[in-house]
Homo-oligomer: A and B are copies of this chain.
Amino acid sequence: MDTHGVGIAGWGAAGQLMAAALGHSERFRLAGVADVDPAAREHAAAETGCRVHPDVASLAASGDVDVVYVATPTATHLEAVRAVAAQGKHVISEKPLATTLTDARLAVEAAERAGVVLLVGATHSYNAPVRVLRRLVEDGTLGPLLSVCANCHTDWRRRPRSAADLDAAQGNGLVLRQGAHQIDVLRYVCGGLTESVTGTTFGGADGTELGFSAQLAFPGGVHASAYYVGTGGFDSRLQTWGVGELGTFDVAATPETSRFFVLPGEGAVSPVFGTLAATFADGGAWVTPTGALVFAGDDVTEVGVEDEASGWQALLAELAGALDGHPAVHTGRWGLATLEVALALHESARTGRRVGLHHQVPTQPDLQA
């Protein structure tokens, strides 16, 4: 099978993770890297041996590049999507798609006008165990879905952060950067069509977000809760068996914690973004790094993961499907809808009001199902 060349715009952590994923792909190969920073370009050239570019337009113009993964700062996504689409190339944008709904809509329209695929990723709804949960919703064996609860305690705010990283106006801050994951997971599991959002944020003395709580309403009275704290106190990885966002066992057991938490495991597991529990009319499910524990009456069964363990591999599989004409979940319009929810959370936190939504799109059937 012919391979497609993927160019990476932005040689940060996300770009480097994508490069690693491309190294394991049979369908895609790394075809170039762009970064505005000469040192980053030099590093990328040395690491990958591939051609480097000073900007996304030059990368997109390269004959070797069929798809551009845009992992530059959020505020530059619209310009990057336009530049890539103008070359008739496909785009994967990092989440969030843009800093404003208007910019996100312009990005979607640019891709649609050019007839190219636009995906928004990589988010944690690509994780195989989350897709196990979605299949439980779709197959209806536990009855109708009632509620989903996502909780995450991390040290996101303890890690070095620039002022821009914390600025919602630049498409950043805890809600847009980390909330985007929880919102995406909850929309994916609950069917995508969020009806309304209420939410609160809580923060430090400097006014920036240290945590948030959001309640999402879906058709049929389905309710979803997202709670996130990024201050680095209690760590959710203790509840997810030491497994975090990268699908690695990265919390060590101490004498104190080992009495209370099963830590750590071994072997191949999926990335885990906090705890995730779903309640159905006839049971419940709890996501693990290897699938889900399914509770029905007094019975507990373990449903294992059958497809890609890595969200990055799942993103590339979705891209391959989209290039073959299959409907994708994480389209530009999906990313626009997730951004709408995150911005509505901000609005609700400010006004104390439930905020209605108007740009939601449904979860498409999963190709890997």
Residues on A facing B (Cβ under 8 Å): 142, 146-147, 149, 151, 153, 196, 198, 200, 202-204, 210-211, 213, 215, 217, 221-223, 225, 227, 229, 231-235, 238-239, 241, 254, 256-257, 259-262, 277-281, 283-286, 288, 293, 295-296, 300-302, 352-354
Contacts and interface: CB of A to CB of B under 8 A. Distances in A.
A254 B293 CA distance: 11
B234 A279 contact: yes
Contacts of A293: 234, 256-257, 260
B196 A352 contact: yes
B202 A213 contact: no
16 contacts: A146-B204, A147-B211, A149-B151, A149-B227, A198-B198, A198-B352, A202-B221, A202-B222, A231-B279, A231-B281, A233-B295, A234-B286, A235-B295, A238-B286, A257-B300, A352-B353
Given A200-B223, A225-B227, A260-B288, 18 more contacts: A149-B227, A149-B229, A153-B277, A198-B200, A200-B217, A202-B221, A202-B222, A211-B279, A213-B223, A227-B227, A231-B279, A231-B281, A233-B280, A233-B296, A234-B293, A238-B286, A241-B260, A257-B293
A354 to B, nearest CB: 3
Contacts of A146: 202, 204, 210-211, 229, 231
Q: What are the nearest 9 A-B pairs in CB distance? A: A233-B284, A352-B354, A234-B284, A202-B223, A256-B300, A229-B279, A213-B225, A233-B283, A233-B279
A284 B223 contact: no
Greatest chain B CB density within 10 A among A147, A300, A354 is at A147
A178 to B, nearest CB: 14
Contacts of A278: 233
A353 B29 CA distance: 51
Most buried by B among A203, A256, A285: A256
Contacts of A213: 215, 223, 225
Most chain B CB within a 10 A radius of its CB, from A234, A241, A277, A352? A234
A284 B222 CA distance: 31
Nearest to A236: B277
Contacts of A354: 352-353
A256 B352 CA distance: 42
